[in-house]
Amino acid sequence: MKTETRLPSDYNQFIEQIKSSQVQQVSIKPDRIEYTLKPEFGSQRYYTKPVGKIDDLLQLLHRHGVEFDTLPDSSATHASMIGFLLSTGVLVGAFAWLLKFANAGNGVGIGMGMGKSNARVYNQGKPGITFADVAGVDEAKQELQEVVDFLANGEKYRKVGAKIPKGVLLVGPPGTGKTLLAKAVAGEAGVPFLSMSGSEFVEVFVGVGASRVRDLFNRAKRQAPCIVFIDELDAIGKTRGNNPVGGNDEREQTLNQLLTEMDGFDGNEGVILIAATNRPEILDPALRRPGRFDRQVLVDRPDKSGRLEILRVHARSVALSQEVNLETIAAQTFGFAGADLANLVNEAALMAARNNRTVVLMTDFGEAIERVIAGLEKRSRVLTPLERQTVAYHEVGHALVGALMPGGSKVAKISIVPRGLGALGYTLQMPENDRFLLLEDELRGQLATLLGGRAAEEIVFHKVSTGASDDIQKATNLAERAITQYGMSDTLGPVAFANNNTQFLEGNSSRRVVSGEVTAEIDRLVKQNIDQAHDIAFEILRLNRNLLESATQVLLEKEVLEGDQLQTILTQVKAPAELNSWLMKGA
């Protein structure tokens, strides 16, 4: 076989020949490049050593239309075989390494260190929070101060034979300060604080959650006295036996290990478990019993005095004007949790900074309250004249009807400035005092107030708009609760036809299984209550038609009605003769 003779060439010369369109064909091998010139350039054959990236060379060949191919050689074959053998050896070694841990009985994930708890540890003096930083939950603080005394002066309890509680369960709505209270206990006691979330225990690997529970308690015992805090306990503490596919899933194994660990350590060892949840009703009964969580501490939304204390705590780092009255703000924020109040103070401070002021004014707090309740102002949302009129009549209708209704809430502001996601206007009612019960006449009054906007549209335009959709939804829910939960029905009586799914979280309740006749009667009574509330609202606005027109014109001119001007208008509202009888017994 005849061997072709090729002349050596410099790589740079090779590149120049390509660019000058002299090259006809190129063969690229791992260790050399062979090429042939076109016949008009002598058909000479050359070879050269590759320099730089092959990808750059291939792009150059493509651009100049040069034929090329890549040919394997024996050395490349040997290299591929060696690479294959090496990769196979690595895989076999890795498999043997994993098998070693799996045979140890801990599982693959645990053998790789996944069974270790990743609890955040705060040493003595950390996280730097004390009871002075917690306000508005005095009863809960008092309960937890005893826990601090257990850890600091445990000997005096042991002398009389008392056992330190093993666990304290903090329950309450979101944002009320459960996590903050747990950190304050650690800060006051001056002991290590190990913190984890319930969702951090469970992984896809079987046995990892249980292993992390064991590791967490082992670490706690080594650092005793200390506090272990598990946030969102319901992530692993749900009642067992609800697995739809049967068997024992990873979450249940984690819960079983937690129950075992809580039984396995003595309270006098100086380890106290504090857990927080806003869904105590779904926790496993074995987890809530004494001996595991000996104390359940309610951390509820604060009352007026509690809100005042919380505002004072958060206002310490804010430059307030002399005119700011925190008592007034506390009265206007009924239902706000601690996190809501912290956000309120911050929003007011941001408002002052946005307007280039060095102190926070009372107007900043008023705007912040509206921003939290109704959403951000959207003055860029331009309404047509008809839409603007409809919204104005609608909101004045709410205000005029609400001015006559009982309940201790007064209309404080009417606005037709769009806010939030879909509010084209709003009527702001402020409670004069904290109220924890809703009387029957007050409930009817709320229904009439909600339907006052729709009634105003009917009176003025003789047709209704979609603007009352949220009012109708709220009125329907309230009327249904009156029948199914509160027993405010003469025909059905004090019977509960609804189950509360949640205790602290917002959510719709579901009806119990009842007969078709009862369901039909509930629906009839709900509609009857709503119709009666609509009729009384319509009558109030018909009787005060002139006031409705004049107040709406002022609102259209100023966009906002509040203060003395609004109260002067509301004092002129006349009550129809049948109002009191309807409030007491219904029409």
Q: Coil, strand, or helix at residue 503?
A: coil
| Integer angstrom CA distances of residue 279 from 240, 298, 300, 504 | 15, 12, 13, 7
How far is C-alpha 171 from the geometric centre of its chain's CA atoms?
17
- Please, which residues have CB within 8 angstroms of residue 196's CB and are 6 or more apart in sequence? 117, 118, 119, 120, 216, 228, 229, 230, 231
> How open is the CA angle 145-146-149, to the nearest 5 degrees?
90
Q: Say if CB 400 and CB 452 are below 8 A apart.
A: yes
- Please, which residues have CB within 8 angstroms of residue 195's CB and are 6 or more apart in sequence? 119, 120, 121, 122, 182, 183, 229, 231
Q: DSSP labels for 384-402?
A: PHHHHHHHHHHHHHHHHHH
- Please, which residues have CB within 8 angstroms of residue 192's CB and are 6 or more apart in sequence? 121, 122, 123, 124, 186, 223, 226, 227
Q: Which two tokens stand for residue 478?
A: 């309230």
| Integer angstrom CA distances of residue 390 from 443, 516, 554 | 26, 40, 14
CA gap 307, 136 in Å, rounded: 6
CB atoms within 10 A of CB 290: 11
Q: Is 395 a catalytic residue?
A: yes
Task: Lay out the sheet containing 560-562: strands in order across.
Answer: 426-431, 409-415, 560-562
CA gap 585, 580 in Å, rounded: 9
Q: Say if CB 254 and CB 202 are below 8 A apart.
A: yes
Q: Say if CB 415 and CB 377 are below 8 A apart.
A: no
Q: Which two tokens stand for residue 378?
A: 């959207």
Q: Nearest CA to 374 among 347, 392, 406?
A: 347
- Please, which residues have CB within 8 angstroms of residue 259's CB and are 6 or more apart in sequence? 284, 286, 287, 292
- Of 143, 395, 457, 480, the active-site residue reads 395
Count of alpha carbons within 13 angstroms of residue 434, beta-carbon side: 17
CA gap 66, 260 in Å, rounded: 75
Across the strands, what pairs with 439? Answer: none
> How open is the CA angle 561-339-127, to the nearest 5 degrees?
150
How far is C-alpha 560 from the geometric centre of its chain's CA atoms?
32
- Please, which residues have CB within 8 angstroms of residue 110's CB and are 6 or more apart in sequence? 101, 205, 207, 208, 211
Q: DSSP labels for 187-198?
A: HHHT--EEEEEG
Q: Is the peptide bond before 302 cis (omega within 30 degrees of 0)?
A: no
Residue with tokens 């396995």: 264
Residues tagged active-site: 395
